[in-house]
Structures are given as C-alpha cells and as structure tokens.
Amino acid sequence: MAVLSSGRPLVLRVPGVMTTEVGSETDVKKEPEKVPEVQQHTEQPDKPADSTASASSDPPQEESRSAEAGSDQEATASPEPSSPPAAGGQKKDKGISRFLPPWLKRQKSQSQDKPGESAAPPKQESEEVVKEDQEETSQPKEQEEDGGGAEHSEEVKEAREEVQPEEKEKDEEKSIGSADTQPVREEKEGESEVKESDEKEENEEEKKEEEEKEEQQVVQQEASVPSTLKLNKKMKMVVCHVTLLDGSQFSCEVEKRAKGQYLFFQVCDHLNLLEKDYFGLSFKDNAEQRCWLDPTKEIKRQTRNSQWQFSFSVKFYPPDPSQLTEDITRYLLCLQLRQDIASGRLPCSFVTHALLGSYTLQAELGDHDPEEHRLDYISDFQFAPNQTKELEEKVVELHKSHRGMTPAQADAQFLENAKKLSMYGVDLHHAKDSEGVDIMLGVCANGLLIYKDRLRINRFAWPKILKISYKRSNFYIKIRPGEAEQFESTVGFKLPNHKAAKRVWKVCVEHHTFFRLVSPEQPTKTKFLTLGSKFRYSGRTQAQTRQASSLIDRPAPYFQRTSSKRISRSLDGAPVVNVSDYSQAAGAGENGPALELNSDSKSPQVEVVEKPNADAATSIASETAFETDDASERKSKLRVQGENIYVRHSNLMLEDLDKTQEDVLKHQASISELKRSFMEATPEPRPSQWDKRLTGSPATSLRLQAQGSLEEELTSLFLSKACFSGLAGSCSTAAAPAEASQGSAQPEVPQKSPPHPGTDSRDASQSTEVKPEVNGQPEVVEVVEETVVIEEVVKAKPKSPVPEASFTIETEVKEERSLSSDSESEEEAEYHAQPPSTSVSVQQIKEEPEEEQEAVLTQQAPPPAIESQPSAEAAEPEPAAEEEKAAQPREEEHTDEPPLTPDEAPNGHAPQHQAPPTPQTAAAEEEEPLIVNGSASRLETDHLPQVICCSEPPVVKTEMVTISDTFAAQKTEISTKEVPIVHTETKTITYEAAQLDGNGDGEPGVLMTAQTITSESLCTTTTTHITKTLKGGLSETRIEKRIVITGDSDIDHDQALAQAIKEAKEQHPDMSVTRVVVHKETELAEDDD
Amino acid sequence: MAGLMSGFGCFTHAVMRAAPRSLARDALRSGGQEVDLLKVQEEHEEYASVLKHRLGLEVLELPADEAMPDCVFVEDAAVVCGDTALVSRPGAPSRRRETEAMKSALTELGLNVVEMTDESATLEGGDVLFTGREFFVGLSKRTNQRGAEILADTFKDYAVSTVPVQGALHLKSFCSMAGPGLIAIGSSEAAQKALKIMQQMSDHKYDKLTLPDDSAANCIYMNLPGKGDVLLHCTPEEFPESAKVFEKLKDHMLIPVTNQEKAKVDGGLTCCSVLINKKKNI
C-alpha cells in the first residue's frame, strides 16, 4: 500500500501543481480528479476506514484517501458540503460521487481556497486533530451541519453545473496530464471569468470550511462539513488593508473567519502574481514585531487585537533571482529590495547604492534623457538610508550608461548585484549568546548566521543542524559533530522573550523547509503525543515552486511600474490585455496543487493501520514490527524518539562503549586478516571474477568497461549494530545470521540482482548512496540505526612509476528517527532538520574529483603495494551469489564475530505489528500494506548476498538484516529505473541494501533531504552523505561515511581503518553503527596491461 | 565595475614602499635572524620589476622612512577593495605612522579613503583575506575585533568573518588567494584549522591548494588583461616542495619571486604591495 499510495500522490501532485497555476479552473479540476480517484477507491474498498479513525489520525495520502473515502461514503449520506464547487462536481458525479471518497471532494474545495497551502493545512490539521480532539465536542455539530450543508451544496452545485460541464471535461484532462494543464488553462481562462463569481462564493465557503476544519480538526469530517452552514449564517466581513511593495494600499473584504491564505491569494490575484511562494503577508503584533501571517490559520486568531493591516513582502529571497520565471516576480523582488536598501536593512557600500540606484532609474524611467531628466528628477527616489547629493550624482552618472536597457533587463541587473550582498535575504533577530553577549541571528537560505556587531562570528549551514528547538525564550540548535568532534553539541541563544524565540524558530523551520527540502515535511504522526508547536512550513518549497513556475505559460503579464506608471515591456512580448483573467487563473492553479498536497498529508493514518497489519506483518520485513509495538508502547516510544532520541543513542553508545575496545580490536583483526587473505590469495584473472559476477548481474558488461583497471573491494565488513530502544539489550552476535539472511534473500536477489560490480568502489558506492536517498526511504520510527560502511580501496599500479594504494573506508551511519520533532507545550518546539535530496548526486560527483585531486596533491603515493584482490571483489557485489558465499566463509573465518541473524529480529517484531491500536502504529502499518500490495517483488529483490558477503565483527542483529533487505530492494528498484548508469549503481546497491536494512518497512519513503560533505585529512578523505527520508511520518536520517584512505603500502591501513571507525563512532555518538564495509582497491599492473 | 564582486584579481596599480636601512636591525621579527639589507633591497627591486615590467602595473613607490623599519610591508597599512580603501591602524605601535604616507598615496589615486580612527581598533592588512566574495579577518596579536568591525562597516557589501589566528603573525602568513575561489593554504595544524573555520563560515565553496610550507601559501594572484591568471609565488630554492605544487597550476602564468630575505622579518609576498584596480568599469 505504502508504495502505491506514496507513489500516486506524488504523481498526482505534479499534475496538480500544474493545475494550480491554472487557477480559476480549480472547480473543474476537482471533478476530474474525483473520477480517477473513484477508481482508486474502488480498488481500496477494504480500507474505507471508520470515519472516527480517520478523524483521529490521517495517514499519508492513500490512507487518507481511503479514510476519506469512508468518510465520503458517510458524507455522501450526509452531504459534503465543504465547497460549493465540490457540490457542483457532486451533482454531475452524483452517482459516482457517492462512491468517491470524501477527500476528493475536499480537494476540490481546498483547491479553490488554498492552492499553495493545501499541503500544509492538512498536516496541521492532522496535528491539530490530536490536540483538538479534546475540543471535538464540536464535531457532532459539524456533522449535523454537514447534513444541512449538503443540501445547500447541492443547490449550489446545480447552479454551477450549468457552467461547469465543459470545464469539467477540461479539468479532467488537466488532472490526467499535468503537462497539458497550461494549454488548458488558456482555454479555461475564458471559463474562469464566468466562474469567478462562483469561485468567490466558493472561496468564502471554503474559507469557512477550512476554519471549521481547523476547529474540528477532523480532516475527513471537514470534507464532509458543508460550506452551506456558512452560507446560512451571515458572514461577518472584515476589511483588510494590505500595503503592497510599491507602497500602494490594497483593501479587500474578507470573511472574519478567513484564513491567512485567502487574503494572501486575494493580494496575489490583485498583483497578477503567479510565483507567489516567495512572498507572504506580515503584520505587526502588539509589540510592534513583524510577524508572518500563517496562511493556514485564521487571520483573526493571528492578529488578535491588532488591526487588520498587513504588508505584502518577500518572505523567501530567492538566491538566484534569474531563475524566477516571470519578470513581474523579479519586479516585485526589486521593490522589496529597494525598500530593504532604503531602510538600511540591506547594507551596501556607496558604490553599490549608486549602481543599484541607477538600475532602478533605468527600470522606472527608461533611458536617461538630458532634457527631461534634470538632477532633481531622481529626488523622488530613495537609493540609500542616507542619500547624499554625491550619491545622486553618481546614480545619474551610472544611469546614463544604461542606455537601451529595458526595464526587465534593468531589474535583472539590479537583482544580479543585490543578490551578492552579504545580507541579502538574511532575516536578523536580536539575541544573546550563552554568555549574555549581544548577537544577531541571521536566518537565510543556507542556514543560520551568527553576527556580533557586523561581524560574522559563526555560521551553521542547514546540513550542520540536526535539530531546531525553542523553549521559553531560549532558542536551540543541535549541531552535527564535525570530523574532529566526537559529540553533537547544542547551541543555545537567549532571545528577548518567548515570542521572539518562537518567531526565530518558525522562521528557521520555514527557511529550512523552503530552501533545503524538496517537499514540505509531512506532519508527524507522533504529534498526537506532543503538546508542542506543530508548526511546519506548509507551502511549497523552492524546488516545488520552481517546478511549478517552469510550467507557467502565459504571456508576460502587464504591470505598471508605479513610480513611473511605465508599462513594462517584458522582453517576451507585449502586455496582455486580459489581466484579470490571468490573475485568477493563476491563483486557481496554485490552489490546485496545494490541494493535492493536502490530501496526501491529511490522509488518515488510522484506517491504513487497520487493514494492512496482518498482511504487512507477515509478508514484509519485521522492520515494521519493530516500529509497531503495542499502540500504547508506541506512543511511549514515539515520545522517546521525538524527545529522547538522545537518550536512546546514549544507551546505544553505552553498549558500544562496553564493546568498543573488543569490537574494535576484533574489527581490526578481522580486517587485517581479510587483507592478508586477499594479499595471499592468488589473484584470479579478473575477467573470470567479473564473469561470475556478470552472470549474476545483467549489467556486468558495462561495468567491466567502466571499471577498467580498478580493482574491486577485497572485503566487506558489516558492522551492523541495530539498536532498538527495546532491543538494545538483546543485541547479540549471531554467527549464523548472515547465512540465514542469504537464504531468505537469495531467491529474491536474482530478480533484482542489480549488478554490483565492485570495481569502482568509490564511484559506484557514491552513486548508489545517492540514489537510495533520492528514492526516498521508509523510516522506522523507533529503530535507530547507524550503518558504518568502511571500504578500503587499495590501488596498486605496479608498472606506474609512482604506484598508489588507496583505502576507501565507507562508513554509513543510519539514524532513524521519528520526524515528530515537535515537542512539548507551545512553550517549546523542536524541528529536526533534514538534509536535501535532489542535489546530492551532483554534489557527490563533484566531490569525488576533488578527492582525487587532493590525494594527488597531498600524497603522492610512494611505492605501491601491489595486491591482487580477485576474490575479495566478489564479496560485496550482489551479482553472483556464489561469489558472495565464497567471500563469506573467508570473512567468517577471519572475523570471530558472527553476522546478523535476520530471522530473529523480524519474528520478534512481527507480533508487535499486529497489535498496534494506536494511530502511530497505524501509520507504520500503512507503510507495510503498501509494500505488500504494490511490490512484493521489490522486497524480494533485496540484495541478501551483500549481507552475506559481509562479515560482521561486532554485534549484528538479525533484525537489521531483514530490514536492510527491504530497503535494498526498494532502492535497487528505484536505482535501476532512475539511474542511467547501471554499473556503478549495482555495486552501490549492494551497500545500500545492507545499509537499508534498518528501514525494513518496505515502503518507499519520501526523500526529504540529502547532503554530502567532504572533508579531508592528510591521507584520508571522508565523504559523508546525509539523507533524511520521510516515510509514513517517520523520518530517518542516514549518514553514510566513505572514508578513502589513500596511500602506499607503507601506511598502516588497519590502523587507519580502526581509527576511522572509531572516529565515526565518536562523531555520531547518538547513532549506532550498523555496517562497515571495507573495500580495498588495488590497481594492478596486470589490469592496466 | 561591471558589477558587484566582479573582476577579482584585476589590478592596475600597486603601491610599494622602499626598504629603509633600519629594517635590517629594527624591523620586527619573530625569528631573530640576521637580515642582509642588500638582499632585501634586491628582492624588493625584483618584486617591483615584475609588477612593473612583467605585468604592466603602474607602481607607485613611496620613499622609505628610517623611523619606520617595517614600512616596506605596505600591505598592513591599508585594505583596498574596489574604489574604497581602508587605512588601517596597525597593531604594532611602532608601525602606526606607516599609514600616513599610505593614506596620502591612496587619496592621490582617487580612492574613497576611510580611516580607522577608533583608538581601540587595530587591524593590519596581513590579517585580511579578500576572496572576491567576502572577507576573512584574522584575529591575531595585531588585529582585534574592533578593527574587524570597522572593516565590515567600510565594505558593507561583503560578509566579514573573523578567524582566530594562532601560531602565526598574520592570517595571510599561511594562506592567500591563488585564484578565483582557490585558497592557497599551508599544511600546518594552525593553517588547516583556520581553513576549516573559513569553510564553515562561508556560504561559498572554495577550492584549496595545499602547500607543504605555510610561508609558501602566501602568494599573489592577479587576473590581468592579456595575461590571464597570474600567480606570483615562492621560488623552488626556498620551498622546493611547495614550488612543485604551484607548478601544477597549468593555467596560470607562474612567476616565482624570491622572498627569502624578507621572510626573515615575517614578510610574505603579499606584504610588499597594495594592489589597486583603478579602472572603473561601471
């Protein structure tokens, strides 16, 4: 289930995004979506969860859908209400609609109201649900209302239906193919006008509905809740005043209970702005502090006593404005920056003031005209906080040099220079450090900057930050330990008051999500337990908004440059006449996507849980079992994870400590033995080895080519220490486990058997690592795993004058945590930073070359140790099971410590799975079912051979093994599909599989973030990949360290390896080492020849 | 100025100052070595010749002042970036007056001159590393926080990050820019530590060129019209291993410049000139 569900929503989302842009079309869209969804529902008839269940917790997407479906059914009985548009859709669909899940209906309504935010609100709602449950007393009322509302909605629908039929068709098309959305939009635009009136009504209704939803907090119920109630009631309207970036005022009437989003979209429509995700509305609170209006919450609840006076402004400054799609967006950004500069918020030098000012003149006034433009023509402009005559003269001088530049070009130039300013996009907050010294916290796209006076005294890039939290007036960030550091540290800052601390925290959460994540973090299921702020950024991330923007296909909108009233001629073409249409369309379009997101997030978890458990537990790896203990247990565990992760880790650490010395020694011994064995072993002709492998793996031929002279890994050692909070005590070293895992895994292996040539250990491993991350990995909440994969690559080039031997040690540390960072009371909250996903592959690629270069520079390897590694290579790669087997015996011999026993772990956990009554468990279960349904094969595909290959010196748990398999399978599948280069991947896959073990859920997770860090010391290069994946509300942080030890035979590789492992442990005290793979690559003269 | 932060390494002018005879005896030094004045002057002339004749810079050479034995190291007296020059306040009291001549020279060149008047501030140019995108200021015995703040106020466009300097006179005693985005860094623990700090503090990615010898990491990068990337660096005689590293920079015009004698008084290559780009490209 999980796979399917997750996959579908994603797909849907994309189209949705497209549609959202379209804007006015939302109504239509909703309908089309419903139809497809209906089919889905039919598929999932089983799932229709109890409405109550759904209300309590929303599992991600599909689950939610199913739950909603259930609710819908109910709803159908009691009309859905929520959005008039939906009603229209229902009428048409009526026959179908009954079968359709309520969530579909919801989407419609939501889409209209909350395009951008849609994703977020659901999350919040779900979160809120828990809290609000207390308040749920209101629900019954809602249901009643729903009934009434349904009637109303029907009426409304009828009225609308007349207009919509055509639209519906169009919408359907759109929904089906996202790519088509834009063209459709154009067509629809005309329609949109017609609909506008309807939409407005709908929007209002929707707003109401949304509000109600929040209050009620039951998503499903919300869907069911009819907007009609609202209609019935007199709507209290409030006039909002919004100060726009050009200084003008925009006023509009808003229903008193409207959410921030509604007003925001009104403003964006007014501005004809499509790329609105960079912007926001702010207001001054009672303390005159600027606060961002949360789009997902009611305006009145945020403004409290203060007036309904807002400012439209840039919230997220795009690091590269040239990547914005539309000139109008850049223009608005320019306006914001001019404000920032004039107010002194964005400091710049005299020269820069002059330069930026000159571009402003060029954009606003056009070419300098000596007759028309006397010196005082610029007196209306403020170029700097303290504008001098000298500056004005300089501005004019420069203005003259811009002759011929169009306004759009001038804006672009303005931004190109402004973006380089060091304080561009830095949101400053006053604070004190631990010693009471006044500092400034600067939140920006890249992370958190610490200033003392004007000096930057520290910087914490997002990748460096593990957790963001606040408590009372303190703001904390938990820092990932550096190479030289052994423990993660928490840095605390004192803010003026609680509100300020929360504000910084929110800004950090938002910036991290927007700039660093691919998609917003989904609400944590654990939220039930936590009392803290559930706040999350709910809008689109930069990645998402860019994707959406790329689909914008409208003529460059007409807009006036206020100061000059100059019509902007975009480079593209002439101004468009139908301004209003476009704007509306745009708004609607955005809404659409948001809705989709919401639906995903909203999906009730409970339902899912119920269904899958049995199936999942049985078929799927025991991983889930770990996660799903008794419901009660789970709750407790979840809490533990969210808040006490540290503690757990510490426990783990203790274990490690106890064992460390011995283990380390063993490791060393085993490694050295392996080494020797390799050394001693008569090198087989590599081709033969390869052939074997190749037989196992399809891609072999390619690999061979790619590999070239490189030799494969000699040995792979898995030091997997699975630490489960409950299981920790049970960790034991089982000698046989590896074999067992093999047995189970092997059958599967052939299917997937991604080729894992050991040849290019570096490249392959890296590539593989990346892939898994990208794919998204399921996360086990409770299980905290660290995988240390240490690869030693010894390259010996006998013939080459300066032979070099390199050790590659890959250490993978997996950490699985529950995402629920939110914690305690509103007084405090946590947010776990996740690494970004998308860019990883690129980064890695880049980094690799660097490593090589460095190695060359620093160490020019002395005489090479020529080692033939024929046999060793086979060990890791999955391709040939035989090889693996062969390798294992060797390793086992060397290593006293037994491998993991996969079977045990799964069994133990399985019972737990079934038990789970609690919502959390449900979530976990959800994942399982998905797996079962969608891809049993995937699971099978796991690379057991890999596991087998590795000898696991320290404490290996069978549990881990099983988990890893599932993961591996998933990853492998993904990788094969997505990754063009099979060869390297294969290898990597193997590693991954082993690493993946911890996940076990079998559900594909959503890759939230991924990052790669490379650091070097004299003879080692450490590449750290950190990925965070979101799965079923659980986040898993996986740290994979690749340590490349490059050097001649002179270097004591064993020692270096031992040191590397030790350091890895020290650096991540809160994580457990699950795997260590040692590759030795030796470049042999033979190969070269 | 085609724009902010463009044209890193573009220089048209250089300010130098002759070596006074007092340098041999009175110049500050950490090593306590004997200095051959003649050799210093030879090196100085070679240096000036490279700038003038080999690279075509317009060199403004200030006369020596016997009362200021360290005055040959003009870099410490001013920080020039773009059209703005910050006349510093050297941390060594004996060097305070070196800034007077520098100030007048920079004014003469038409730069926007800012003076560091705060009595509590000290800053020497040797502690200021400008990467083209941002400043790193070494907090050393010669440069303090206040001095760095004033620098940040002067060059508002750029981030100014502070880097503690230990075990060396100046930040640039073990590092410098060897190209756009390329930091030359020594191998010592102090140098590597400083590099790590700089990397952490920066939003930008820098490549690094690691040199076996800290002193060799002080080099001068320029990007000159018609000549491309130019790098003045240590000679093989002084640092054979480090020179080999430089020689791997195939795309640079490599000019080894002798600095053996001045090194005895803690002088690096960058110390002997203030480079200025007077072309206004705006």
Q: Please write the tens of the pLDDT for every residue from A652-682.
A: 232 233 334 444 455 555 545 544 544 444 4
Q: B-chain residues within 8 Å CB-CB of A422?
A: 134, 157-160
The contact set of B with A (CB < 8 A) is: 1, 3-5, 82-84, 112, 133-134, 137, 145, 148-149, 152-153, 155-162, 196, 200-203, 207-210, 245, 248, 282
A854 with B5: Cβ contact below 8 A: no
Model pTM score: 0.52
- Between B82, B149, B203, which is nearest A351 by CB? B82
* Residue A947 CA from chain centroid, whole number: 29
Q: B-chain residues within 8 Å CB-CB of A446?
A: 203
pLDDT tops 50 at residue A1081: yes
Q: Which residue type, as a one-letter code, is found at position A772?
A: P
First to last CA, chain A: 52
Q: Chain B residue closest to A399 (CA)?
A: B282
Supply the pLDDT for residue B196: 92
Put simply, whether A422 touches B (Cβ < 8 Å) is yes
Supply the pLDDT for residue A1079: 58
Mean confidence (pLDDT) of chain A: 54
Q: Chain B residue closest to A453 (CA)?
A: B149
Put simply, whether A412 touches B (Cβ < 8 Å) is no
Supply the pLDDT for residue A869: 40
Selection from A1013, A972, A1061 nearest residue A720 by Cα:
A1061
Burial class (CB in 10 A: 0-12, 13-18, 19+), A317: buried
pLDDT tops 90 at residue B106: yes
Average pLDDT over residues A849-871: 34
Local confidence band at A370 (pLDDT 50, 70, 90 cut-offs): confident
pLDDT tops 90 at residue A934: no
pLDDT tops 70 at residue A299: yes
DSSP characters for A707-751? HTT----S--BEE--EE-TTGGGG----SSHHHHHHHHHHHHHHH
Contact present, A596 and A59 (Cβ < 8 Å): no
Supply the pLDDT for residue B6: 63
pLDDT in tens, A169-187: 444 443 343 333 333 343 3
ipTM of the predicted structure? Answer: 0.91
Burial class (CB in 10 A: 0-12, 13-18, 19+), A729: exposed
Put simply, whether A416 touches B (Cβ < 8 Å) is yes
Residue A481 DSSP symbol = P
3-state secondary structure of A465: strand
pLDDT tops 50 at residue A528: no
Q: Chain B residue closest to A401 (CA)?
A: B282
Q: B-chain residues within 8 Å CB-CB of A401?
A: 282
A456 with B159: Cβ contact below 8 A: yes
CB-CB neighbours of A782 under 10 Å: 29
Identify whether B271 is a catalytic site residue: yes
Local confidence band at A1054 (pLDDT 50, 70, 90 cut-offs): low
Q: Chain A residue closest to B193 (CA)?
A: A484
Residue, of A411 and A921, whose pLDDT is higher? A411
The H or E element containing residue B235 is: none
Average pLDDT over residues B209-235: 94
pLDDT in tens, A984-1040: 232 333 333 333 333 334 444 555 556 656 555 555 556 666 666 665 555 666 666
Put simply, whether A857 touches B (Cβ < 8 Å) is yes
Identify whether B252 is a catalytic site residue: no
pLDDT tops 90 at residue A114: no
Task: Please work out, in degrees rounded to the nearest 5, the angle formed at the alpha carbon of residue A403 by the alpha carbons of A401 and A409.
Answer: 105
Q: A-chain residues within 8 Å CB-CB of B137?
A: 455
Q: B-chain residues within 8 Å CB-CB of A458?
A: 200-201
The H or E element containing residue A673 is: helix A631-680
pLDDT in tens, A943-973: 333 333 333 333 323 222 222 333 333 333 3
Put simply, whether A352 touches B (Cβ < 8 Å) is yes
Supply the pLDDT for residue B269: 94
Residue, of A182 and B25, whose pLDDT is higher? B25
Give the distance from residue A497's alpha carbon to the nearest chain B alpha carbon, in angstroms: 28
A422 with B134: Cβ contact below 8 A: yes
Cα gap A72→A48, rounded to integer Å: 9
Average pLDDT over residues A828-844: 49
pLDDT in tens, A629-648: 343 343 333 333 332 222 22
Least confidently predicted of A514-528, B89-103, B144-158: A514-528
pLDDT tops 50 at residue A190: no
Local confidence band at B34 (pLDDT 50, 70, 90 cut-offs): confident
Q: Which of B13, B170, B233, B252 is catalytic?
A: B170
pLDDT tops 50 at residue A490: yes
Local confidence band at B245 (pLDDT 50, 70, 90 cut-offs): very high
A446 with B203: Cβ contact below 8 A: yes
Q: B-chain residues within 8 Å CB-CB of A349?
A: 82, 84, 155-157
B161 with A413: Cβ contact below 8 A: no
Contact present, A967 and A990 (Cβ < 8 Å): no
Cα gap A1→A64, rounded to integer Å: 12
Give the distance from residue B35's alpha carbon to the nearest chain A alpha carbon, in angstroms: 33
Residue, of B182 and A780, whose pLDDT is higher? B182
B159 with A422: Cβ contact below 8 A: yes
Put simply, whether A239 touches B (Cβ < 8 Å) is no
Give the distance from residue A347's alpha carbon to the nearest chain B alpha carbon, in angstroms: 6
* Pairing status of strand B13-17 against strand B58-62: parallel
Supply the pLDDT for residue A314: 95
Local confidence band at A428 (pLDDT 50, 70, 90 cut-offs): very high
pLDDT tops 90 at residue B207: yes
A349 with B159: Cβ contact below 8 A: no
Q: A-chain residues within 8 Å CB-CB of B82?
A: 349, 351
Residues 372-411 of A with CB under 8 A from B: 398, 401
pLDDT tops 80 at residue A292: yes
What residues are paired with A784 via a beta bridge? A723
CB-CB neighbours of A438 under 10 Å: 11
Q: A-chain residues within 8 Å CB-CB of B208?
A: 854
Of the ranges A54-63, A223-232, A245-254, the best mean pLDDT one = A245-254
Percent of chain A residues topping a pLDDT of 70: 29
A349 with B149: Cβ contact below 8 A: no
Percent of chain A residues topping a pLDDT of 90: 16
Q: Chain A residue closest to B161 (CA)?
A: A456
Residue, of A572 and A491, whose pLDDT is higher? A491
Give the distance from residue B178's alpha carbon to the nearest chain A alpha carbon, in angstroms: 15
CA dist list (Å): A381 to A246, A361, A363, A364, A365:
12, 8, 12, 10, 11
Supply the pLDDT for residue B32: 75
- Tracing tokens 């206040």 back to the chain, one arrives at B146
pLDDT tops 90 at residue A244: yes
Cα gap A326→A320, rounded to integer Å: 13
B282 with A355: Cβ contact below 8 A: yes
Least confidently predicted of A748-752, A1078-1082, B276-280: A748-752
Q: Which residue type, as a one-letter code, is found at position B218?
A: N
A734: left (phi over 0), alpha (psi -120 to 50) or beta: beta
Put simply, whether A458 touches B (Cβ < 8 Å) is yes
pLDDT tops 50 at residue A150: no
Q: B-chain residues within 8 Å CB-CB of A455?
A: 137, 145, 148-149, 152, 160-162
3-state secondary structure of A147: helix
Supply the pLDDT for residue B97: 92
Q: Chain A residue closest to B212 (CA)?
A: A858
Supply the pLDDT for residue A1030: 60
Q: A-chain residues within 8 Å CB-CB of B210?
A: 854, 857-858
Average pLDDT over residues A377-398: 87
pLDDT tops 70 at residue B261: yes
Of the ranges A971-985, A1075-1089, B70-84, the best mean pLDDT one = B70-84
Mean confidence (pLDDT) of chain B: 91
B84 with A453: Cβ contact below 8 A: no
A857 with B210: Cβ contact below 8 A: yes
- Tracing tokens 């040239």 back to the chain, one arrives at A322
